[in-house]
Amino acid sequence: MGYTYEYPRPALTVDCVIFGLDGRDLKVLLIERALEPFKGKWALPGGFVNMEENLYDAALRELEEETGVKDVFIEQLFTFGEPGRDPRGRVVSVAYYALVNLKEHPIQASSDARNAAWFPVDELPKLAFDHDAIADMAIKRLRGKVVYQPIGFELLPKKFTLTQLQNLYETVLGVRVNKRNFRTKILKMDILEQCERQQGVAHRPAFLYRFNEGKYKELLEKGFVFEIGGFVKNEQ
Amino acid sequence: MGYTYEYPRPALTVDCVIFGLDGRDLKVLLIERALEPFKGKWALPGGFVNMEENLYDAALRELEEETGVKDVFIEQLFTFGEPGRDPRGRVVSVAYYALVNLKEHPIQASSDARNAAWFPVDELPKLAFDHDAIADMAIKRLRGKVVYQPIGFELLPKKFTLTQLQNLYETVLGVRVNKRNFRTKILKMDILEQCERQQGVAHRPAFLYRFNEGKYKELLEKGFVFEIGGFVKNEQ
DNA sequence: ACAAAAGTGTTGTTCCTACACCCATGA
DNA sequence: TCATGGGTGTAGGAACAACACTTTTGT
Of all nucleotides, the one whose C1′ comes closest to residue A199's CA is: C25
pLDDT reading at A121 higher than 90 = yes
> What span, in angstroms and rounded, lies between the C-alpha atoms of A38 and A36?
5
CB of A10 within 8 Å of a chain B CB? The answer is yes
> What span, in angstroms and rounded, lies between the C-alpha atoms of A216 and A211?
8
- The answer to whether position A6 is within a domain reads no
Domain span at residue A62? 11-145
A207 Cβ contacts chain D strand, under 7 Å = yes
- The pLDDT, as a whole number, for residue B72 is 95
Q: Are residues B82 and B136 in the same domain?
A: yes
Higher-pLDDT residue of A130, B200: A130
pLDDT reading at B16 higher than 70 = yes
Q: With b meaning 16 or more CB within 10 Å and e meaning fewer, what string describes A10-25?
A: bbbbbbbbbbbbeeee
Identity of the residue in A2, A11, A79 whose CB atom sits nearest the CB atom of B4: A2
Give the pLDDT mean for A53-65. Answer: 96
Q: Are residues B69 and B168 in the same domain?
A: no
- The answer to whether position A5 is within a domain reads no
Dihedral angle sign, alpha carbons of residues B38, B39, B45, B46: positive
pLDDT reading at B113 higher than 60 = no
- The pLDDT, as a whole number, for residue A233 is 52
C-alpha distances in Å from residue A9, one per residue of A4, B3, B45, B65, B89: 10, 8, 20, 21, 13
Estimate in Å the CA B208 to C1' C4 gap, whole number. 18
| Residue A12 contacts residue A98 (beta carbons within 8 Å) | no
Q: Are residues B25 and B87 in the same domain?
A: yes
Give the pLDDT mean for A118-139. Answer: 97
Q: Are residues A33 and A105 in the same domain?
A: yes
Q: Are residues A170 and A127 in the same domain?
A: no
Pairing assessment for the beta strands B11-22 and B91-100 based on DSSP bridges = parallel
- The answer to whether position A187 is within a domain reads yes
Q: How confident is the model at residue B234 (pLDDT cuts 50, 70, 90)?
A: very low
- The set of residues, in sequence order, having a beta carbon less than 8 Å from that of A216 and lying 6+ positions away, is A150, A191, A224, A226
CB of A53 within 8 Å of a chain B CB? The answer is yes
What's the total number of domains in chain A?
Answer: 2
Burial of A63 (0-12, 13-18, 19+ CB in 10 A): buried
Q: Strand C footprint at Cβ < 7 Å?
A: A 178-181, 184-185, 197, 200-205, 230-232, 234; B 161-163, 179-180, 183-184, 197, 202-207
- The answer to whether position B235 is within a domain reads no
Contact B7 A12 (CB under 8 A): no
Q: Are residues A129 and A201 in the same domain?
A: no
**Which residues 83-142 of B are in CB contact (within 8 Å) with A?**
83, 90, 92, 94
Helix intervals (H) in A37-130: 55-67
Q: Are residues A34 and A89 in the same domain?
A: yes
Q: Are residues B173 and B82 in the same domain?
A: no
> What span, in angstroms and rounded, lies between the C-alpha atoms of A220 and A79?
29
Q: How confident is the model at residue B150 (pLDDT cuts 50, 70, 90)?
A: very high
**Nearest alpha-carbon partner for A99 in A151, A50, A135:** A151
What percent of chain A shows pLDDT beyond 90? Answer: 81
- The answer to whether position A2 is within a domain reads no
- For the stretch B17-63, pLDDT in tens is 999 998 789 999 999 998 889 999 999 999 999 999 999 999 999 99
- The answer to whether position B184 is within a domain reads yes
- Chain B hits for A234, CB-CB cut-off 8 Å, are none
- The answer to whether position A46 is within a domain reads yes
> What span, in angstroms and rounded, lies between the C-alpha atoms of A153 and A218?
18
Q: Which nucleotides of D are covered by protein (CB under 7 A)?
A: 3-10, 16-20, 23-27
Number of helical H runs and strand E runs in chain A: 5, 11
- The answer to whether position A151 is within a domain reads no
B142: amino acid identity, one letter: L
Q: Are residues B179 and B207 in the same domain?
A: yes
Query: Which single residue has its CA nearest the C1' atom of nucleotide C15?
Result: A185
- The pLDDT, as a whole number, for residue A234 is 42
- For the stretch A204-218, pLDDT in tens is 999 999 999 999 999
Size of interface A-B (CB pairs under 8 A): 86
- Chain B hits for A15, CB-CB cut-off 8 Å, are none
Contact A81 B54 (CB under 8 A): yes
Q: Are residues B82 and B139 in the same domain?
A: yes
